[in-house]
Amino acid sequence: MPLIYLKLGGSLITEKDRPETARRNVLERVAREVAQARRECPRLRLLVGHGSGSFGHVSAQRYGTRRGVGSPAQWYGFAATADAAARLNRIVAACFLEAGLPVWSVQPSVGLRCRDGKVMEGPAETVRMAVERGLLPLIHGDVAFDSVRGGTIASTEEIFELLAGHFPPVRIVLAGELEGVYTSDPRRNPTADLLREITPASISSLSVALGASHATDVTGGMAAKVEQSLRMVDATEGLEVIVCGGLTPGAIFAALTDLSTFPGTLIHAGRLQERP
């Protein structure tokens, strides 16, 4: 049975320039698309994650949580960041439950352990058991204890990377505000081109142009996401990562149900297998 990881970006599900403001209309539509995908492809297995957007990223930036945690004020920021991320997670879960999906929130920080910013342990067994039982496990970027930094933040993609080592997906869908990966930020440069495919061979000429996130994002922006995606497709045979626009109705549904094509940008290792 195909396993797909779906990440709903913070820029998609929140107003990233308005603190703690969720885009409920977007979340409700996305939940309906996921529910439709499950009805039409009953054998589909899904793991869903989401970013923190204007919830967790604001506190994390204020206290520098990603860089490390040591002082009492920083530990307060660590706790405040976790609380903000959890508040958004409850909103996401509620929208998915209302759509009839058996979504079950898995708080990553309980099992996350990092070493100098790299995720070393996570809730892999819990997520695996949830998927096997037909649940829709829901994770999110979260704080984590770190053996070098004291504390840090692990992004949803970093948690995905760990989980993919335990139960590899056939596709990872990263749904954001933009239609895919562009040669530069299309919100600042209207002549930016949408990149349909990215491979290790093509990334060297693109990394400078990709740049950082348009709004507050303590986990690195688009360039970091592409670099991490290339690392994952290189490590997992046959894996492809799709970066697509979740604001376009039907894009997420198509990415979940049709493995023969893709919306947005396809990231692969340069040795694509024939798609069914």
Give the pLDDT confidence of 183-200 residue by residue, as tens digits. 888 888 888 888 999 988
Which parts of the chain fold into alpha helices (H)?
10-13, 24-40, 53-63, 72-98, 124-132, 156-164, 200-203, 207-210, 221-235, 251-257
Q: Are 195 and 183 in contact (CB under 8 A)?
A: yes
- Residue 223's SS3 state is helix
Supply the pLDDT for residue 261: 85
Q: Which residues pair with 153 in a beta bridge?
A: 143
Class of domain 3-267: alpha beta
The residues, ordered by sequence, that sit 6+ positions from 71 with a Cβ below 8 Å of its Cβ are none
pLDDT value of position 114: 97
CB 23 within 8 A of CB 36: no
Q: How far is CA 183 from CA 173, 194, 206, 215, in A?
A: 20, 7, 7, 18
Residue 130: predicted pLDDT: 96
Distances (CA, A) of 94 to 78, 101, 138, 186, 229: 25, 10, 11, 32, 29
C-alpha R_g of the chain: 17
Cβ–Cβ < 8 Å for 10, 52 = yes
> What would the mean pLDDT of 198-207 be, rounded to a whole number?
75
DSSP H or E run through 203: helix 200-203
For residue 205, the model assigns a pLDDT of 65
Q: How far apart are CA 69 and CA 152, in angstroms?
A: 7
Q: Provide mean pLDDT across the span 207-214.
A: 51
Span 20-47, pLDDT tens digits:
999 999 999 999 999 999 999 999 999 9
Helix, strand, or coil (residue 141): coil
**Rounded average pLDDT over 57-62:** 86
**What global pTM score does this model have?**
0.90
DSSP state for residue 1 in the 8-state scheme = -
Q: What are phi and psi of 166, to 5 degrees?
A: -95, -45
**Residues in contact with 224: Cβ distance below 8 Å, sequence separation at least 6, in sequence order:** none
